[in-house]
Structure 1
Amino acid sequence: MTRTLLLVAALGAALVPELASAKEKHAAAAAPASDKSIIDSAMRAAPAKVSAGAKIVAFDDKGQMRTVREGSNGFTCMADNPETPGPDPMCVDAAAMDWAGAWMSKKDPTAGKVGLAYMLEGGTDASNTDPYAKAPTKENHWIKTGPHVMVVGAEPAFYDQYPKSPDPDTSMPYVMWAGTPYQHLMVPTH
């Protein structure tokens, strides 16, 4: 009976996004009960000991970051973005958070301020050459990434040690967004 109830609950949860309107989805995400699901998703981004002490953040309906749970170890985790096709929760240290902020605001990150980012659930498919591409084109070398760790903010010479092909072998370390201010090392974990 318990297994049947769990299966029904899982199927119901899987069908809710299909049946709900965008407005209903937004209202559900804003409800206090959703903080638990945000925390659960965000914690899957990094090893358990890292995510257990990490600050958990989410974007509110105005696009502003809010703290869902305070942290104690200098890492910040974000839940999967439900608007992207694949799982993409991320957990970053303070330097990687600064790097991500520079990327999102289209400013140059501080070179030599090395940061670490975990994406142990994988990442949504992305361009390997254009940090701001929204969809695949012939020119932007769209790739599929699995679970990985990223090293960001290193001096350019660090990245010269690794392949920078626009069409990399994603089963081994490679540089994503090579030649841009946001180049970073992608290190697969599986």
Structure 2
Amino acid sequence: MRTNAVLLGLLALGFAGQVAAAEAPKASTPALKTEPAAKGGDKALIASAMTAAPPAIAAKATVVEMGPKGMRTVRKGSNGFTCLADNPATPGPDPVCADENAMGWMSALVGHKPPEVGKVGFMYMLAGGADASNTDPYAEKPTKANHWIRTGPHVMLVGDQEIIKHYPTSPDPDTKQPYVMWAGTPYAHLMMPVK
């Protein structure tokens, strides 16, 4: 998952208060480079963001745009999920929709800080995920050592490391089955394909 705001990079946040407090992405962090998410204005941005989650979730989710100065709320939601549109700066589709705990996890990722212990978050990426390193959350491009992968439509469980103990942690996983991404880092999380 290349952080769309992620991110993802990313990746909000139910959390109007957290949005204001979230650290803006560092321009030197390649995985967090962003461009305007949609050329068709807010309507196109919302349409893109809504492809991340099932319609029942996306319809009531907050939609935010990640820009060079931080996040902007495009549409206020009511269900505790926040969606971000595809980031054109990444090589493939990567809209994401996350609950409040997952947004906190993404904020930690963006800020290069450890995620809060004991909180489990849930994210949708039903449009798939852009090519990304499976071993380095901040990798900019493929190298021989960073195990670049592509994942189709999936959901993620992030946060508490207990949830990943019994899943494959190979740097070159079968992305058609559940696996751990970024194993061995504070941002290790469970990837679960849905198609």
Superposition TM-score tier, normalisation by shorter sequence: 0.7 to 0.9
Q: Supply the distance in 2 between the matched residues of 1:119 and 1:76 (Cα, whole angstroms).
A: 12
2:165 pairs, out of 160, 163, 170, with 160
Task: Please name the residue that 1:4 is paired with.
Answer: none
1:146 pairs, out of 144, 152, 165, with 152
TM-score by length of 1: 0.81
TM alignment of 1:31-42, pairs within 5 A = 34-42=41-49
* Residue 139 of structure 1: how far off its partner (Å): 0.4
Name which structure has the greater RCO, CA cutoff 8 Å, separation 6+.
Answer: 2
TM-score by length of 2: 0.79
1:82 pairs, out of 79, 88, 103, with 88
1:69 and 2:69 are equivalent in the alignment: no
Q: Secondary structure at the match of 1:76?
A: strand
* Residue 158 of structure 1: how far off its partner (Å): 2.2
Task: Please name the residue that 1:14 is paired with.
Answer: none
* Residue 111 of structure 1: how far off its partner (Å): 2.0
* Residue 83 of structure 1: how far off its partner (Å): 1.2
Q: Secondary structure at the match of 2:123?
A: strand
Q: What CA RMSD, in Å, does the superposition of the two structures yield over aligned residues?
A: 1.4
* Aligned amino acid, residue 54 of structure 2: P
Q: Supply the distance in 2 between the matched residues of 1:34 and 1:116 (Cα, whole angstroms).
A: 28
Deviations 1:29-55 (A, max 9, x none): 4xxx51000000000000000000000
Q: Supply the distance in 2 between the matched residues of 1:167 and 1:111 (Cα, whole angstroms).
A: 27
* Residue 78 of structure 1: how far off its partner (Å): 0.2
Residue segments in structure 2 that go unaligned for 5+ positions in a row: 1-34
Q: Which runs of 4+ in 1 moved over 3 A?
A: none
* Residue 145 of structure 1: how far off its partner (Å): 0.7
Q: Supply the distance in 2 between the matched residues of 1:152 and 1:83 (Cα, whole angstroms).
A: 24
* Residue 112 of structure 1: how far off its partner (Å): 1.6
TM alignment of 1:15-26, pairs within 5 A = none
Which structure carries more helix by proportion?
1
Q: Supply the distance in 2 between the matched residues of 1:125 and 1:43 (Cα, whole angstroms).
A: 20
Deviations 1:110-138 (A, max 9, x none): 12200000000000010000010010000
Task: Please name the residue that 1:121 is paired with.
Answer: 127
* Residue 160 of structure 1: how far off its partner (Å): 1.2
**Residues 163, 190 of structure 2: 8 Å contact kept:** no
* Residue 170 of structure 1: how far off its partner (Å): 0.3
Task: Please name the residue that 2:65 is paired with.
Answer: 58
* Aligned amino acid, residue 87 of structure 1: P
Q: Which structure's CA Rg is the greater one? A: 1
Q: Percent identity over the alignment?
A: 61
* Residue 64 of structure 1: how far off its partner (Å): 1.6
